[in-house]
Amino acid sequence: MNLSDERLERLAHKLRLPDVPALVSSLAQEASTKEWSFPDFAEALLQAQSDLSDARACDTLQRLAGFPARKTIDAFDFSFQPSVNRKQIQELASCAFIERVENVMLLGPPGVGKTHLAISLGVEASKRRLSVKFTTASRLVASLAEARTAGTFSRRLMGFVRPSLLIVDEVGFLPLDASEASLLFEVVCRRYERGSIVLTSNKSYGEWGEVFSGDTVIATAILDRLLHHSTTIPIKGESYRLKDRKKAGIVTTPAG
């Protein structure tokens, strides 16, 4: 490495532009072939560094989010699920709802794409450098109950409160007892008007009493806060999971 390379390396490090030295070499060739002006070169260099930094930040945020699978809106087949409005999902994908601190409630039977869409919105948020945490209702309450026993409740709670977007999947999948319901309530209260929640449930709002083991008071209190500033997306239709099996004649009735 010659002296000017070393100086470039040091400055790039100081300015936190780690890829600039490598980019200078790789773009120099292109600049000369395409006869770029100096400003063109400077712009291409900074744009390339900015793209690499964004991609790295996005990867880190997605790793921290703990998504169970990688799902994108592009991979969602809207023609299979006509009850999902593509325009509405695209609007949500802009993440303006996170800026406005609104919630998104995805409701519907198994296999209709609730988790897929929830993860996709999380991925879009991470692309905009917004922090995301993905969890299921049962993992959330189990984690907080464990932290309470271990004396680390406040810190664990902050893990669900701090991210710009919290995704709570599978509310209603398993009924929550009174102490579990109070833990979910705590998280919903702490995020109320402070941070967005994307929530999925296989239960309609009328059935939320059952989700909380018949305690309609806590069900109403939680729903009240969740729905105050929110969009509900009710998904009807067939399970995507059974699509291919149905085609093969293995399943003959809709799964519901």
Which residues would be at the binding site for Mg ion (CB under 5 A)?
115
Q: Please, what is the minimum distance in Å from the beta carbon of residue 11 to ligand ADP?
A: 45
Contact partner, 116, from ligand ADP, Mg ion, none, Cβ < 5-8 Å per class: ligand ADP
Residue number, 82 or 214, with CB nearest to ligand ADP: 82
Give the span between the Cα atoms of 167 and 140, in whole angstroms. 10
Residue number, 115 or 126, with CB nearest to Mg ion: 115
Scanning 5-13, 19-27, 38-46, 71-79 for contacts with ligand ADP by CB under 6 A, the matching segment is 71-79
Contact partner, 81, from Mg ion, ligand ADP, none, Cβ < 5-8 Å per class: ligand ADP
Scanning 20-28, 45-53, 111-119, 173-181 for contacts with ligand ADP by CB under 6 A, the matching segment is 111-119
Q: Which of 61, 89, 116, 164 binds ligand ADP (CB under 6 A)?
A: 116
Give the span between the Cα atoms of 137 and 142, in whole angstroms. 9
Contact partner, 18, from Mg ion, ligand ADP, none, Cβ < 5-8 Å per class: none
Residue number, 71 or 191, with CB nearest to Mg ion: 71
Q: Please, what is the minimum distance in Å from the beta carbon of residue 101 to ligand ADP?
A: 24
Q: How many CB atoms lie within 10 A of CB 60?
A: 13
CB 110 within 8 A of CB 202: yes
